[in-house]
Structure 1
Amino acid sequence: MQARFAPSAIWAHLRSTYWFLPSVITLACMGLALGLTVVERNMWDRDALPAWLTSGGSDGARQMLAAVAGSMITVVSVTFSVTIVALTVASQHFGPRLLNSFMRDTSAQAVLGIFIGTFAYCLVVLRTVRGDGDEYERFIPHVGVTTALALSLVSVGALIYYIHHVAASLQVSEIARRVSRDLLRSIDRLYPQQLGDDAEAPENPPAVPEGAVEILSTGSGYVQRVEPDQVFELAREAALVLWLSIRPGDFATEGLPLALAHPPPANPEQFTKALNAALVLGTDRTSDQDAGLEWQQLTEVTLHALSTGMNEPFTALTCIDRVGEGFARLVTRRVPSALRADERGQVRVITRRHRFPELLDEAVDPIRAHAGGSPEVGKHLLVLLGRLAQLAHGDEDRAAIRRQGELVKDSMERWLKDGSYGEQIENLYRVVQHATRPV
């Protein structure tokens, strides 16, 4: 299967590179250098320039530009070294899947762009300097040299900011905040409708009839995006019903089913090719349509903190708070309908949606299993579940919260006999039990 890139996937990729934004800034600085040189050479009266804009003779201008360019390339190399060290530390302490969060940091990209752009600016202006003994007409770009000095001062400020930014970004509270911010944005985008908003009740999805055929994947990779309109038009034009077996975030394996179709398509080979073309596969999960990615990242940081080598329970508590923040928003949102019908009301596509109960299980189960019966982590999970229970409205959601509460309590069985811990655990569990009772 040939790689196909949707515009959103391309933009997400560009955002997580260290070359795109720095390249844009560098090109802008080079354009500024050329523009200032042309304007100063052809439009400005150089003799009328104020004294603070003049830069002395041609030798002084060359030395100034060469000094700034040389210092910038040194700063760039140091900055790249600091960046690599920061990425290594983040990968070791918080998990390799969080590297995308660091790579998408536009502040770091912009700082690198300022340094490289200043270097490129100085080189462009430097080649325009002409002295009295040169073959060409004498020209000293006073404005260009002064601008280079200004850019060097901006670069100094950017370097100071970058050092502070790297130190701050490696703090677990800041990492959890950034991931949580992305999580809340994903929830708002994928689950925009509040519970209680006017909406048609979703229809019951039709059962898969006998005779439905499997549509196989022609490639392997994580499903980064499913083009809903493309899939719907494909099913409508083929006059069939399509049950998608995969959803964004799942791993598609070549030769395994992507969907079931009934009745069988008239041209199975062409239909298979068209359905595969409606999916974007990649080497990593992305948050474009994947509601569970950021929860997985927060869970990963929590598990690293609870590992034997790290043993940092309070780091885990910080991440659990952010996990709860996301679920507190999700539990108040309506899950979009999994059905897509044509103009005659005939259901054509049945998709799989990420729902609250399964997302809760995917996030809490690993934390509970790796907590090793830690009373602090267990109590924090019960506090989280108690808060969610107060916000939950659906019976299915309340049942999932109640089930997790029971599992958390059972995992701390040995602490129930402890007088202090046992009483706290029982009280917290009763809050969950009371808030999730059938109504």
Structure 2
Amino acid sequence: MSDWTVTQSPAAGRRPRALSPLREHLRDTFWFAPMAAMVAVFVVWLAAQALDAAIVEALQNDGDYETLDELLRFADDAKAVVSAVASAMMTFIGVVFSISLVAVQMASGQFTPRVVRLFVRSRITKATFAIFLATFVLSLLVLTSFDTAEDARAVTTVPLVQSVLTLCMVAFSLLLFVLYVNTTLRLMRISYVIARIAAESFRVTASMPVTADGPDTPDLGTATAWVPHEGRAGVLRDVHITRLVRTARKHGVTLRLIPRIGDFVVPGTPLLAVHGGAAPPRRALRYTISVGVERTYHQDLGFGLRQLSDIALRALSPAINDPTTAVQALDRVVQFLAALSRRPLDAALHRDRHGVVRLVQPVPGWTELVDLGFTEVRGCAVGSPQVSRRMLAGLDDLLLLAPPERSEPLMRHRELLHQAVDRAEQFPSDRAFALHPDRQGIG
């Protein structure tokens, strides 16, 4: 049984699970997939080379030199093909790299720099680059396997299997190149980028074990010890929940994470509060906290809303002036908040196998999420009726979905938007038009 369990969240629809920080960090890198592919293709080449040597040895033992002569003639033709493949793959790799750089530059300039990580995390981009490099390495390795002997009795190996494997890799590379171009073109469309951000945000929501304040929430009391941050300064990316729960259970304490995921932490500031005993030794807490230079989706509940707000703000800037993109971002903001409207927030309680709370992780509350989704966009919505109408429609929808105790921040944003439009529009007809709720903005 797992070392930790969590209270089931009605919004998740399934039992949340602890995602591996290592796996998530590898997804945020671009070097791992190509390196793994090149190592794997080297192992495959060794196996294919051994198989080719076994085939030649079997034919020589049987005295079937006529077949060996045919294989030697095939090898001459295959060598020319493999040489051409080795040259062409470098060109393809350059094309893939150039397309990626152009796409990243356009996306970061038009949308927000934070969407660059969508390109880095794209599986098809990594697979294409990895397979291209693997095909190039394989073709070079195969070229070293061609035997210069012309006599069938003296030949030691004929790269038959290796040549066929190279051709299969070329075919696979061409297929991936088509898929890569299609995926890159989709990532350059704002509607698809916004949809990807929303999908990543919902994945975080489903995996985070967020529990409500209530009778199941323990009274931790006063902290008995503190654990300061001793690593480098940076953004708190995630914590290794399983290790922290296991460590707290082993030492009979409860740990409370003080900063939220996404906060900037500096050395010396309190990182963990310990309740019920002494602080665990530093070696037990090693590799449980991950600090980086930017936020990630892994455990950050508000990062998706941050990106959606950034896209809407960039779209409403005078340099771009694209209110339709802002409306598309608001669509996903409303969708995300609607999914959280009845979900317990404010704290995530991680329990051990006996149901004892061992780790308390702070998460954004309802008011904070609503402010994150609407405050900055509302300030730029004045003068753009399309955005103000869509925002009002979204707030009205959320007021219908959220429980009464969560209506205050929604009503506040609604009232502030009314006041801003009243001050900006001097004609009653313009004010009435800008304040008419419309899910399409101006449908």
TM-score, normalised via structure 2 length: 0.79
* Cα separation, 2, equivalents of 1:118 and 1:276: 39
Structure 2 residue aligned with 1:12, among 21, 24, 35?
Answer: 24
- Over residues 410-431 of structure 1, what are the superposed CA-to-partner deviations in whole Å (9 max), with x where a residue is unaligned? 22224665455533555539xx
* Cα separation, 1, equivalents of 2:180 and 2:363: 40
Q: Is the 8 A contact 1:22 1:114 kept in 2?
A: yes
Question: Residue 33 of structure 2 corresponds to which residue in structure 1?
Answer: 21
- Over residues 127-186 of structure 1, what are the superposed CA-to-partner deviations in whole Å (9 max), with x where a residue is unaligned? 111133599625432332233233223322322332222222110011111111111111
Task: For structure 2, list consecutive stretches of 5 or more residues without a partner in the other structure.
Answer: 1-17, 439-443
* Cα separation, 1, equivalents of 2:354 and 2:163: 70
- Over residues 290-337 of structure 1, what are the superposed CA-to-partner deviations in whole Å (9 max), with x where a residue is unaligned? 111111112111111112221111111111111222112111323385
Q: Is the 8 A contact 2:53 2:156 kept in 1?
A: no
* Cα separation, 1, equivalents of 2:217 and 2:144: 72
Structure 2 residue aligned with 1:89, among 106, 123, 128?
Answer: 106
CA 400–23 in structure 1, closer or farther in 2 if over 3 Å, else same: same
- Over residues 179-238 of structure 1, what are the superposed CA-to-partner deviations in whole Å (9 max), with x where a residue is unaligned? 111111111111578xxxxx99346775976x9776543342222223456656767787
CA 206–373 in structure 1, closer or farther in 2 if over 3 Å, else same: farther
Structure 2 residue aligned with 1:121, among 138, 142, 153?
Answer: 138
Structure 2 residue aligned with 1:223, among 231, 236, 254?
Answer: 236
Matched pairs, number: 412
1:310 is aligned to 2:310: no
2:30 is paired with a residue of what secondary structure? coil
Question: Residue 191 of structure 2 corresponds to which residue in structure 1?
Answer: 173
**Post-superposition shift, 1:109?**
0.7
Q: Is the 8 A contact 2:346 2:365 kept in 1?
A: no
* Cα separation, 2, equivalents of 1:57 and 1:203: 74
1:163 is aligned to 2:185: no
Partner AA of 1:246 in structure 2? P
Q: Which segment drifts farther, 420-429 or 167-176?
A: 420-429
1:428 is paired with a residue of what secondary structure? coil
Q: Which segment drifts farther, 157-166 or 179-188?
A: 157-166
Q: Is the 8 A contact 1:203 1:339 kept in 2?
A: no
| Aligned-residue RMSD, C-alpha | 3.8
* Cα separation, 1, equivalents of 2:295 and 2:436: 39
CA 293–130 in structure 1, closer or farther in 2 if over 3 Å, else same: same
What is the correspondence of 1:117-196 to structure 2 with a 5 Å cutoff? 117-133=134-150, 137=155, 139-191=157-209
Question: Residue 409 of structure 1 corresponds to which residue in structure 2?
Answer: 418
Q: Is the 8 A contact 2:301 2:363 kept in 1?
A: no
* Cα separation, 2, equivalents of 1:258 and 1:86: 38
* Cα separation, 2, equivalents of 1:163 and 1:344: 50
* Cα separation, 2, equivalents of 1:148 and 1:237: 53
* Cα separation, 1, equivalents of 2:250 and 2:164: 65
Q: Which segment drifts farther, 101-110 or 395-404?
A: 395-404
Q: Is the 8 A contact 2:399 2:407 kept in 1?
A: yes
Question: Residue 365 of structure 2 corresponds to which residue in structure 1?
Answer: 355
Question: Residue 256 of structure 1 corresponds to which residue in structure 2?
Answer: 269
What is the correspondence of 1:363-382 to structure 2 with a 5 Å cutoff? 363-382=373-392
**Post-superposition shift, 1:252?**
1.5
Question: Residue 437 of structure 1 corresponds to which residue in structure 2?
Answer: none
CA 170–49 in structure 1, closer or farther in 2 if over 3 Å, else same: farther
Q: Is the 8 A contact 1:217 1:276 kept in 2?
A: no
CA 238–38 in structure 1, closer or farther in 2 if over 3 Å, else same: closer
CA 49–22 in structure 1, closer or farther in 2 if over 3 Å, else same: farther
CA 207–130 in structure 1, closer or farther in 2 if over 3 Å, else same: closer
Q: Is the 8 A contact 1:242 1:350 kept in 2?
A: yes
Structure 2 residue aligned with 1:398, among 407, 413, 416?
Answer: 407
1:422 is aligned to 2:412: no
Partner AA of 1:321 in structure 2? D
CA 343–309 in structure 1, closer or farther in 2 if over 3 Å, else same: closer
Question: Residue 110 of structure 1 corresponds to which residue in structure 2?
Answer: 127
Q: Which segment drifts farther, 324-333 or 27-36?
A: 27-36
Q: Is the 8 A contact 2:124 2:176 kept in 1?
A: no
1:294 is aligned to 2:276: no
Question: Residue 393 of structure 2 corresponds to which residue in structure 1?
Answer: 383
- Over residues 37-65 of structure 1, what are the superposed CA-to-partner deviations in whole Å (9 max), with x where a residue is unaligned? 32132147667999xx9683443222111
1:56 is paired with a residue of what secondary structure? helix
1:110 is paired with a residue of what secondary structure? helix
Q: Which segment drifts farther, 398-407 or 155-164?
A: 155-164
* Cα separation, 2, equivalents of 1:136 and 1:372: 84
Task: For structure 1, list consecutive stretches of 5 or more residues without a partner in the other structure.
Answer: 1-5, 194-198, 430-439
**Post-superposition shift, 1:344?**
12
* Cα separation, 1, equivalents of 2:307 and 2:226: 33
Q: Which segment drifts farther, 319-328 or 347-356?
A: 347-356
Q: Percent identity?
A: 28
1:281 is paired with a residue of what secondary structure? strand
CA 163–227 in structure 1, closer or farther in 2 if over 3 Å, else same: closer
* Cα separation, 2, equivalents of 1:42 and 1:342: 55
* Cα separation, 2, equivalents of 1:342 and 1:118: 47
Partner AA of 1:60 in structure 2? D
Partner AA of 2:73 in structure 1? G
